[in-house]
Structure 1
Amino acid sequence: MRYESRADLSPWPDPAATGDGPARDGAAEGVPPERLAALFVRYAPELKRYVVRRLGLDPADDIVAETFAVALQRLETYDARLGDERAWLYGIATNLIGRHRRREIGLYKALSRTGIDPVTEPFTDEVERRVAAGGARERLARALAGLSRKHRDTLLLVTWTDLTYEEVAAALGVPVGTVRSRVNRAREKVRRVFAGVDPTSGNEG
């Protein structure tokens, strides 16, 4: 498995290099080191739930720990003008989850075949109730397995967290229009599996 360099884990790529990120203007503000401990206490539990929901329990603690290790290395480059600290941490965690793409897709495929969810902890009550009520876990898992990584990352950040579209854009380092486009395309594919019904839709945005 190819592991990205630390530089690849930045949730905000340099728009001068990519042409596809929020514009920077001036120096980054940074995060005081003592602030990171407070961020860990506040956000580590929900980040773990997000990772567990996508990858299962085994790698969750390691990914959350590495998320904060990467954040520690990047304190001086954090720029609050591009999104809040929570979105920043979700962006790092999502990039780290990308290293485990085969595991994630394998979990979805196993669920689609057996109907047994290897992830026993629901992440979002609203989505969980909607999917469970329709007996649709298998179909949703099949739909998620068929999405590209970019579309799946974007859809799940929008659906399984309470980040706004603007915050998801900051987390992924893309314009908000790209987030909306990816979510729309992902949901089109989900609706095909569900015969026109989208169990991931809600009032986010």
Structure 2
Amino acid sequence: MAKQFPSLTPELKDFIGRQHIFFTASATADSRINLSPKGLDALRVTGDNEVVYLDHTGSGNEAAAHLKADGRLTIMLCAFAGPPMILRLYGRGRIARKGTDEYRRHLASAFAGNEPTGARQIVILDIDLVQTSCGYGVPLHDYKAERPSLTNWADAQGEQGIADYWQKKNRVSIDGLPTGVE
């Protein structure tokens, strides 16, 4: 049975801290739904009703476009090891762009100032509903390691290569919505 909470409990915060993967979902009323897996130890709990994730450069920038236009964001985590559970965090998201004061504050407080090559922005989710469900249908998986592919790619591009890539691939969503990348 699903259970709903107005905010994160200590147990749910602990659960989030143990997960190696999470999924983000966003959309506007007229856009495609974007559902993305995230890893690389990018998610942090920053309050009872707030989480942030360090968003790495990717092939698109759909969530940024959706948050700019609509703001709705859901983050889902599943227990792939240990007792079964699915955790969904519903709320309104916003982007802290790389180079802004808000980005620097979150990078310092949530990620100890560690900024990997290719870091694009920090996504902040203001949570208005927390929901758990059983997760009985989620398979068990053994975690091996993070894939080095994205980090290796970003390192090979360098800062200027990343900036050029953003201009080419990250300025608009697949539906033509602006992402906020200048």
TM-score relative to the length of structure 1: 0.27
TM-score relative to the length of structure 2: 0.29
